Structure 1
Amino acid sequence: MQDLLRSVSNSYPEFSSGQKKVGDLFFKEPIFLAFSSALEVGRRVNVSESTVIRWTQKLGYTGYAEFQQVVQRKLAEERLEKAEQKIPEPVADQSFLENLLDADISSIVKLKKTIKEDQLLKVVDRISQADRIYVTGNFFDYGIAHWFSNWLNLALDHTEMMYSSTGEYYTQLSKMAKGDLVIAFVFPRYSRMVIDTLKSAKSRGADVIVLTDSADSPALAYADHVLTVSVNTNLNIDSYTSVHALLTSIMRFVYVKEQAKVNANLAKVEAVYKERNIFM
């Protein structure tokens, strides 16, 4: 992150008065620029959206989306480096809770070291290009799959959750076609159900993205794209902390890539919330 701050600082004398306002905001609140649209940034400092975009181009980026991706990545790297530095050495009298939390921290650090950004970006591109998205998984993975499916549908408006115990599952299979995408959560214990679903999806021309824990996962035989992430297990209870971290990164990349579409869909939902007076 420091190299990016230096780059902005070195270019600062060349900025217009409006661009300097954007630069000042970046120095104070880089996280705001990382997860806000160019329009929102412009409103914050009272300049136009185009001024914000030209500011990023002045820094050498093709546009705001590319700059935002770099900031997000650097902020994530900075935070994970700090987290890694804070992992304590095993201590004999450390509490059970501390040991459990250390295991989750370690799983995220491992994800940081093993995940390849180019693979993640390919997954995001495929999600953006899909005609229709179906999310499925082993029944142990249903909760996290349902959560991710719900967000994708909220953001992009073309996602369905698949579960083989429902009659709708077979209707979804019958409609699946080339251009569609199946995202499958395949963590131990692997079930025949999800493998059969992937086999059917491939036979109908759909692409498959698999999130799994191992290169030995049986789902890899049907995958076009694979994201591997460890699931931490203690006392026969799986912790999906690192999986959540990976999915949150995917969601943020999708937001940056499809910002206009996501904001429009979120605005529709917010309008209904206000109409029904949902929140306090």
Structure 2
Amino acid sequence: MENPILQLKNKISELTETQRKVADYIIKNPVDVAFLTVDQLAGLVGTSTTTIMRLTFSLGYTGYSEFQKGLQELLRNKADPNTRLAANLKDLNRSDLFIRCAENHVNNIQSTVQMISGETLQKTLDMIVSAKRIYCTGVRSGLPIAQCLAYGLNRLLGNCDLAHADLFEWAERVHTFDSSDLVIACSFPRYARKVSEFVELAKRNNAQVISFTDSYSSPLAKYSDIILPCNVSSVAFHNSIIAPMFLADYIISALAINYPEKTKQHLDKLDSILRETNYHLT
């Protein structure tokens, strides 16, 4: 299929006024639209789902889902650092770089919030609380998220390990996994092979999997029980970790607040040990 954004731009003069409004929103917000449902997009633009479906039909797609897959593929192909940097520099006024960077982070968080339902978040919390053992894994841009989760979850629950996919001896451990184990994988374009292999083997051994990734077409999706899509666009060349880090911080906070009977006792014991060993300066 042809570049969906280019298709919209070439055809925009032939569209109805309402369809042009939708096309304009998609062209200006391709990353957001790549992860919005047709109902969400209709609500944001102020139109009907029928209008959006007719627009995608006119471009030669079988429907919104196929159009969205084409958009996600386009964004994946732009994941090469040099390509992303060159594209971002075209429209960048370096004098307002600080503001642009802040605005980008805010937009990433807002679009991530829109992509994840309250029901999905609750299932995520329940799955974490009920797991016997938790392994947080990631490399490169996914590693700081895995580290944050591993530190926070271990403080709360005492049953979480950081599994650096490039270093962790997961091949020797994964055969002991069962349905009581949980893997939280963090991977963004360009996706790391080791993380995908770890998740695949974990799933094959009946472990549950939660994935922090960028889309439902991520290589991790087919092995995941829950997908938490995060917008990781940046004003430069890299994956921004701000939105997934925000999500990780939410999960840690929500566990502490919503499951005090499960977390308070462990936090109190940990605090007692730190006091006894005079760990802190004050």
Is this a same-fold pair by TM over 0.5? yes
**C-alpha contact 2:200 2:223 (8 A) present in aligned 1:** yes
Secondary structure at the counterpart of residue 145 of structure 2: helix
Q: Which residue of 1 aligns with 2:223?
A: 222
Question: Equivalents in 2 of 1:260, 1:141: separation in Å?
Answer: 31
Q: Which residue of 2 aligns with 1:193?
A: 194
Secondary structure at the counterpart of residue 234 of structure 2: strand
Label 1:165 to 1:259 Cα distance change in 2 as closer, same or farther (>3 A).
Answer: same
Question: Equivalents in 2 of 1:186, 1:222: separation in Å?
Answer: 13
Label 1:157 to 1:195 Cα distance change in 2 as closer, same or farther (>3 A).
Answer: same
Question: Equivalents in 1 of 2:146, 2:112: separation in Å?
Answer: 19
Q: Which residue of 1 aligns with 2:237?
A: 236
Label 1:96 to 1:166 Cα distance change in 2 as closer, same or farther (>3 A).
Answer: closer
Deviates more, 1:233-242 or 1:102-111: 233-242
Asked if 1:174 corresponds to 2:154, the answer is no
1:185 is displaced (CA, Å) by 0.6
Q: Give the number of the structure with larger relative contact order, counting CA–CA contacts within 8 Å between residues 6 or more apart.
A: 2
**C-alpha contact 1:186 1:194 (8 A) present in aligned 2:** yes
Label 1:266 to 1:241 Cα distance change in 2 as closer, same or farther (>3 A).
Answer: same
Secondary structure at the counterpart of residue 170 of structure 2: helix
Question: Equivalents in 1 of 2:217, 2:245: separation in Å?
Answer: 22
Q: State percent identity of aligned pairs.
A: 27
Q: Which residue of 1 aligns with 2:147?
A: 146
Secondary structure at the counterpart of residue 220 of structure 2: helix
Q: Which residue of 2 aligns with 1:19?
A: none
Deviates more, 1:95-104 or 1:235-244: 235-244
**C-alpha contact 1:135 1:182 (8 A) present in aligned 2:** yes
1:91 is displaced (CA, Å) by 11
Question: Equivalents in 2 of 1:182, 1:219: separation in Å?
Answer: 12
Asked if 1:184 corresponds to 2:191, the answer is no
**Where in structure 2 are the equivalents of 1:23-62 lying within 5 Å?**
none
Q: Which residue of 2 aligns with 1:33?
A: none
Question: Equivalents in 2 of 1:104, 1:162: separation in Å?
Answer: 27
Q: Which residue of 1 aligns with 2:48?
A: none
Q: Which residue of 2 aligns with 1:119?
A: 120
Secondary structure at the counterpart of residue 164 of structure 2: coil
Label 1:196 to 1:271 Cα distance change in 2 as closer, same or farther (>3 A).
Answer: same
Q: Which residue of 1 aligns with 2:261?
A: 260
Question: Equivalents in 2 of 1:97, 1:166: separation in Å?
Answer: 35
Structure 1 residue ranges, 4+ long, deviating more than 4 angstroms after superposition:
90-94
**C-alpha contact 1:138 1:190 (8 A) present in aligned 2:** no
* 1:226-245 per-position Cα deviation (integer Å, ceiling 9, x unaligned): 11111122322332111111
What amino acid is the match of 1:107? N
**C-alpha contact 1:137 1:186 (8 A) present in aligned 2:** yes
What amino acid is the match of 1:198? V
5+ unaligned residues in a row in structure 2: which ranges? 1-90
Label 1:233 to 1:261 Cα distance change in 2 as closer, same or farther (>3 A).
Answer: same
1:155 is displaced (CA, Å) by 0.6
Secondary structure at the counterpart of residue 190 of structure 2: coil
**C-alpha contact 1:208 1:223 (8 A) present in aligned 2:** yes
1:195 is displaced (CA, Å) by 1.0
**C-alpha contact 1:162 1:172 (8 A) present in aligned 2:** no
Q: Which residue of 1 aligns with 2:100?
A: 99
* 1:33-74 per-position Cα deviation (integer Å, ceiling 9, x unaligned): xxxxxxxxxxxxxxxxxxxxxxxxxxxxxxxxxxxxxxxxxx
Alignment RMSD (CA, Å): 2.1
**C-alpha contact 2:124 2:210 (8 A) present in aligned 1:** yes
* 1:199-258 per-position Cα deviation (integer Å, ceiling 9, x unaligned): 101111111111111122111010111111111223223321111111122112211332
- Between the two proteins, the alignment pairs up a number of residues equal to 191
Question: Equivalents in 2 of 1:177, 1:91: separation in Å?
Answer: 49
What amino acid is the match of 1:104? H
* 1:154-186 per-position Cα deviation (integer Å, ceiling 9, x unaligned): 111111111244363333313211221111112
Q: Which residue of 1 aligns with 2:271?
A: 270
Question: Equivalents in 1 of 2:167, 2:236: separation in Å?
Answer: 31
Q: Which residue of 2 aligns with 1:212?
A: 213
Question: Equivalents in 1 of 2:226, 2:218: separation in Å?
Answer: 13
Question: Equivalents in 1 of 2:227, 2:92: separation in Å?
Answer: 36
